[in-house]
Amino acid sequence: MSLTLYTSAKAAAPYRVRIALNLKGVDYEPAPINLVASEQHKAAYRAVNAQKLLPTLEGAGDPMTQSLAILEWLEETHPDPALLPRDPRDRATVRAMAEIVACDIHPLNNLRVQRALEAMDVPEKARLTWSKRWIADGFQALELMVAKHGAGWTFGDQPTMADCCLIPQVANSQRFKVDLSPYPHIVAVWEASKGHPAFHAAAYEQQPDFVAS
């Protein structure tokens, strides 16, 4: 099976999938899409992803979309190492943490939302306030959950799907210049992730299309 991941260095959703593929030791070829140049809107990309969003994972049947669906598929097809705990109640907690990021923070700050606000003449300062507000909302909840459930990682002492989602959101929040000092447990996980090869290889700077800005 030869997998291609449509990705973009600084985009959070494909970053989640890069981490999971690396954690599971699954090889893939990155296919960078330039979101700023709107390459996601080209017909060739729309043919693989009807939503014109990243990521898409190609090479295992129909092109696969939606990062959480891809993480679940990876977990089912490559169970080792597990990215969900064994206990069903614990799995629900990990999924809840992942969804705080993927369903409640990220969709409000996404590029197409930023562009829609801009098209409605919302000034840049107000757009930044908007983004920071939703990141803070999610991080306040996650900070309490990591304090309760974390033991080195977001949940327990091994990386899970929650880390696959949280780490890209922390990287993204730095671009929005969010003050992370109210979230010491989240920061501790972020720092730990920097020393882990799977997270390191998935980071912005390691991607073929990375451009410093």
Ligand X SMILES: N[C@@H](CCC(=O)N[C@@H](CS)C(=O)NCC(=O)O)C(=O)O
* Region from 6-14, 83-91, 149-157, 182-190 binding ligand X, contact rule CB under 6 A: 6-14
The minimum distance between CB 198 and ligand X, in angstroms, equals 19
**What are the DSSP calls for 26-65, one per residue?**
---EEEE--TTTTGGGSHHHHTT-TT--S-EEESSSSPEE
**Under a CB-based contact definition with an 8 Å cutoff, are residues 122 and 114 in contact?**
no
Site for ligand X in 95-134 (CB under 6 A): 102, 110-112
Sole binder of ligand X in the list 19, 23, 35, 84 (CB under 6 A): 35
Residue whose C-alpha is closest to residue 132's, from 97, 183, 207: 183
In this complex, which beta carbon is closest to ligand X, that of residue 66 or of residue 93? 66
Binding mask 132-161 for ligand X (x = CB under 6 A): ------------------------------
- Kindly report the backbone phi and psi dihedral angles of residue 124, in degrees, each rounded to the nearest multiple of 5, phi listed first: -55, -40
The minimum distance between CB 210 and ligand X, in angstroms, equals 15
Paired tokens of 162 = 């929650």
The minimum distance between CB 112 and ligand X, in angstroms, equals 3
Give the residue closest to ligand X by C-beta.
Answer: 112
Sole binder of ligand X in the list 5, 7, 9, 11 (CB under 6 A): 11
Binding mask 176-205 for ligand X (x = CB under 6 A): ------------------------------
How many residues form the binding site for ligand X (CB under 6 A)? 15
Task: State the Cα–Cα distance between residues 158 and 80, nearest whole angstrom.
Answer: 12
Binding mask 41-80 for ligand X (x = CB under 6 A): ------------xxx----------xxx------------
Provide the CA 162 distance to its chain's centre, in angstroms.
9
Residue whose C-alpha is closest to residue 39's, from 3, 11, 16: 11
Distances in whole angstroms, Cα of residue 115 to Cα of each of 35, 93, 104:
12, 33, 19
Residue whose C-alpha is closest to residue 162's, from 73, 94, 82: 94
**What number of other Cβ atoms are within 10 A of residue 21's Cβ?**
24
The minimum distance between CB 103 and ligand X, in angstroms, equals 8
The minimum distance between CB 21 and ligand X, in angstroms, equals 14
**Residues of the shown chain interacting with ligand X in the complex, contacts defined by CB under 6 A:** 11-13, 35, 40, 53-55, 66-68, 102, 110-112
